[in-house]
Structure 1
Amino acid sequence: MTWENVVTGLSNPINFEFVSDKNPTEMWVTEKNTGRVKHIFNGTVRIVLDLQVSNSTDRGLLGIVKHPDFEQNRWVYLYYSTSPSGEGADWLSNRVVRFEWTGDEFINPLLIWETFTDPNQPNGNWHQGGVMAFGPDRKLYIVTGDLHRGRIWAGRIEQNTHATLPSGVGGILRLNDDGTTPSDNPFVSHSAESIRRMWTYGLRNSFGIEFDPRTGILWYTENGPDFWDEINYVERGGMNSGWLLIMGPDSRDARYPENNQTAFNASNLVNLPNSYYQDPVFSWYNTIGPIACKFITSARFSGDWSENLFMTDTNTAGLYLFKMRPDRKGFLLDGPLSDQVADNLAEREMNRIGSTFWTITDVKFGADGFMYLLGHAHGRILRIRPVSPPPVLNGKAVLENYAALPLNMPITIRLRNETTNELHDPINSVLDWKGNFSVRAPSGGTFSGSIKVGTYLSQSIEEFTLAANGYIYLDPAFGANGDVNGDDIVDDADLLIVLESFGTDGLGDVNGDGIVDDLDLAIVLESFGLAGHQP
């Protein structure tokens, strides 16, 4: 692997987001201390928003995420700490605000969530959280640290130190895109609105949140006190991560100043109805300060890098790689790490793949399939790539009238070399939960072809030229559906399968709603007689 700087000269950047999934040269970057959002396009940097923020310690402009339907609604969400008197230490609240991007500026702010200073609780300037992500359910997930609230002497629910009083912070929130609370949140019946918004609680602080592209399951990093950092995954809402009483595996009986050097266990936690405790997937006894985490699904990367979890830290300036188990609910660990704990400095190094990458606070993949890292300490964006990267076809498939996630739907790409007229072997892969795909392409040349997903008829790929180490981004929209038997034509054979599986959850469920019914029959009849494109 090698790396190079892409953008330099930024001031304490903390997060970034690509404006378009199709273009790796255009992005927004948030600067923590200045409160500025900078727009970068082909190397040109300009300020497009300047917020009045409190920037003491962990506070500031802390997060940015765009809506899943950004191409249609242009919505972008920002998490920041407000200041009543301008930039500095004065703090009023942490809030998430939705803006509309015009192409030149952010307009039409709408408040989504806010937590204020509270005279009855500590309002520490550490542990502010701020990272956000949209999940497969199209809900907005927001990390909020504990703000030093809920200490044993001033107990609160979210910190597992009081049975009835909420702190309003210290977990992962789950909200609708307009800021309202989803009716299926795990604590939706609780009397406190702040608890109803929670998806998880018992969280000290986190700088990394990621939904596994291959499963849709939520993963996050968690920062411990003097000991015990964690990586966690949340398969369903209601998880109690254990803080302030427990860090690391419950069996390790962690002791630290915040829990009065006392060995608590899961039975001591404040267990709300529908809550559950779960040990971390991995822990470090000696803290490293884990930050960003990202699953590697780009076909640019192979071997140990492919399909595994990449992570950064702040204490040792490290980069780490964790190999996923086949069920993707944990890591492949053996030897000293088989207990899922790095107990000492030597074990801490066993998953390290890089050093001296100071405080990488965000990681994303561009349309080119390369990994982009945001360097907070050095004020830069850098790119990691193979020394000789393979050519790839990246993209996102849009499926008309499909009710389910496109997760693991098969995709087949067929290419013909326009110079030699050679028809290459089919390239087979699967979509992730967003509909994204990344596959390796034949060596550089000029090609045309077709692309097919699931029961949808194949679409043509217009002629394109691919450099030897280059990429092409495809965004096919699929409309004609009903090819149940996979022969790329909708005919009597497909209709028969639908009729034979009618009323079941069988093969004829072409719209993905879980049952073969009149809707599927109508889809097949609408496409009857149509055929896909063959190169």
Structure 2
Amino acid sequence: MKKRAFFSRFISLAAAVFTLLVSLSQVQAAGGTTVYLPLISKSPTPGLALPPADAASARLTVPSGFAIRYFTTNAGARPRLMAIGPDGWLYVALFDGGSIVRLPDANHDGLADGVQTVLTGLTYPHNLEWYAGWMYVAEGDKITRHKDTNADGIYETHETVTTNIPGGGAHITRTLHFGPDGKLYVAVGSTCNACDETDPRRAAILRFNPDGSIPSDNPFKNDADTRKRPLWAWGLRNSVDFLWAPNGELWADHNGSDGMGDNLPPEEIIIPVQGNHWHGWPACYTATLGVNTSPEVPAPGYNLDCAPAIPARFTDLAHSAPLGMQLGAPAPFPAAYKDDLFVAFHGSWNTTLANARDCKVQRVLIDNGQPVGSQTFVNGWRAAGETCAGPNAFGRPADVVTNAAGEMFISDDVSGAIYRVIYVGP
């Protein structure tokens, strides 16, 4: 009897070891970093484990019924925008790290198994998105695309899509997304706080074909100035992120000009971007706080007709600094959340302390496809008595994404952490 029990335990242990060995493949990432990747890529399952309480759950507040934990405390150097990959795992652009990393959770315990470097050698990568088998990356002065041709988890095939994108300036991040029309859209910030740009590609959203060529229906496709040919929409000082609503509208956020005091201009959280149109900056801004149906008004020092400017549909407090956005949340989030917009507010750095804006995740309530109000979803990063840029801040959120299993991930580009929010019940 004892021999039979021992033999049974031995077989079980051997099977477990064998499973571990065949499920991992040791590969060398660019730069010599050793990472371990699943030999067979498997998508996450819906099991939503809740790890033990940690420093994040002790510090950060979420609505009743939700829980927040660290997914990882060290994703790398300045994690910015994120995406869920074709394999179902979380990918993050490391802006200062010059790389893209993958954070799987193969055992579904609610914690990243590790940080796997899948692509390096990038210049200020800000976001990534997959299209037609390629991973597209928005870098500081170009769009590149990359492919994992041998399915080992490392992206070793590289192409430059376009360099018709200006680098540098006061706002150096670039963000790309593919639209429902299959075109590549790229947001480029301004060189300044408030100025008349000489480069038409600044403070704008550009539009390309997936190979970087100019679409035949772009408004300036044949312009003598080749820089103007990708121009789609302008007057957008710094639209760090944008997305498409279910009705096909392109919604962008917008960081307004400084120098107008603590309370002006309101941050434009939802701008219904129109192709071949001006959206106000630097001469005009949306003055209404919250839901807006009014035209834009002139900014100080300008005496222009603001009627042609496309106004924001929803705004929030000045200096909130909206960055990454996520529209909708799948079950098991409650049904009341499924259509709402979640925005990472980076918070203020240059207001008076009395008007310091929180670094937080804000929930914009969407009803029948339109914003109707907003409320805080995650908060607690700002230290008491400081702005969000203070030395004692817990961090500053940069992006929000969800996956099909109902997990929400929040990147923090100050602490280097990624947080995970799930619904745990009433």
Cα distance change of structure 1 residues 18 and 251 upon mapping to structure 2, 3 Å threshold: closer
TM (norm. structure 1) is 0.55
Asked if the contact 1:17–1:65 (Cα under 8 Å) also holds between the matched residues in 2, the reply is yes
Asked if the contact 2:298–2:306 (Cα under 8 Å) also holds between the matched residues in 1, the reply is no
Q: Secondary structure at the match of 2:420?
A: strand
Asked if the contact 2:271–2:311 (Cα under 8 Å) also holds between the matched residues in 1, the reply is no
Q: Secondary structure at the match of 1:323?
A: strand
* Structure of higher CA gyration radius: 1
> Equivalents in 2 of 1:186, 1:360: separation in Å?
36
TM (norm. structure 2) is 0.68
Matched, 1:382 2:419: yes
Alignment correspondent of 1:151? 195
1:26-67 alpha-carbon deviations (Å, 9 max, x no partner): 2322211120222333313232322253xxxxxx22121111
Which residue type is aligned with residue 69 of structure 2?
A: E
User: Which of 95, 98, 101 is matched with 2:148 structurally?
Assistant: 101
Alignment correspondent of 1:223? 255
Matched, 1:63 2:127: yes
Matched, 1:355 2:403: no
Cα distance change of structure 1 residues 180 and 224 upon mapping to structure 2, 3 Å threshold: same
Q: Secondary structure at the match of 2:372?
A: coil
> Equivalents in 1 of 2:363, 2:183: separation in Å?
28
1:462-492 alpha-carbon deviations (Å, 9 max, x no partner): xxxxxxxxxxxxxxxxxxxxxxxxxxxxxxx
Asked if the contact 1:128–1:205 (Cα under 8 Å) also holds between the matched residues in 2, the reply is no
Listed as ranges, the matches of 1:277-296 within 5 Å are: 277-284=309-316, 286-296=318-328
Cα distance change of structure 1 residues 368 and 285 upon mapping to structure 2, 3 Å threshold: closer
Alignment correspondent of 1:13? 79
Listed as ranges, the matches of 1:297-376 within 5 Å are: 297-302=329-334, 304-315=336-347, 316-326=358-368, 328=369, 330-333=370-373, 351-357=375-381, 358-376=395-413
Which residue type is aligned with residue 147 of structure 2?
A: E
1:108-127 alpha-carbon deviations (Å, 9 max, x no partner): 32222225779xxxx53x21
> Equivalents in 1 of 2:340, 2:69: separation in Å?
22
**Structure 1 residues 141-150 or 128-137, which shifts more?**
141-150
Alignment correspondent of 2:114? 44
Cα distance change of structure 1 residues 375 and 262 upon mapping to structure 2, 3 Å threshold: same
> Equivalents in 2 of 1:136, 1:217: separation in Å?
10
Give aligned pairs, total: 315
Which residue type is aligned with residue 212 of structure 2?
A: G
Alignment correspondent of 1:131? 175
Asked if the contact 2:280–2:296 (Cα under 8 Å) also holds between the matched residues in 1, the reply is no
Q: Secondary structure at the match of 1:244?
A: coil
**Structure with the larger RCO, 1 or 2 (CA within 8 Å, 6+ apart):** 2
Identity, in percent, stands at 22
> Equivalents in 2 of 1:294, 1:331: separation in Å?
14
Shift of 1:208: 1.7
CA RMSD of aligned residues (A): 2.5
Cα distance change of structure 1 residues 150 and 225 upon mapping to structure 2, 3 Å threshold: closer
> Equivalents in 2 of 1:352, 1:149: separation in Å?
28
> Equivalents in 2 of 1:230, 1:114: separation in Å?
29
> Equivalents in 1 of 2:177, 2:166: separation in Å?
25
Q: Secondary structure at the match of 1:106?
A: coil
> Equivalents in 2 of 1:252, 1:116: separation in Å?
30
Asked if the contact 1:5–1:381 (Cα under 8 Å) also holds between the matched residues in 2, the reply is yes
User: Which of 187, 194, 205 is matched with 1:172 structurally?
Assistant: 205
> Equivalents in 2 of 1:150, 1:262: separation in Å?
11
1:433-467 alpha-carbon deviations (Å, 9 max, x no partner): xxxxxxxxxxxxxxxxxxxxxxxxxxxxxxxxxxx
Listed as ranges, the matches of 1:228-247 within 5 Å are: 228=265, 229-234=267-272, 236-247=274-285
> Equivalents in 1 of 2:318, 2:326: separation in Å?
22
Alignment correspondent of 1:30? 93
Which residue type is aligned with residue 127 of structure 1?
A: H
> Equivalents in 2 of 1:292, 1:110: separation in Å?
26
Asked if the contact 1:149–1:167 (Cα under 8 Å) also holds between the matched residues in 2, the reply is no
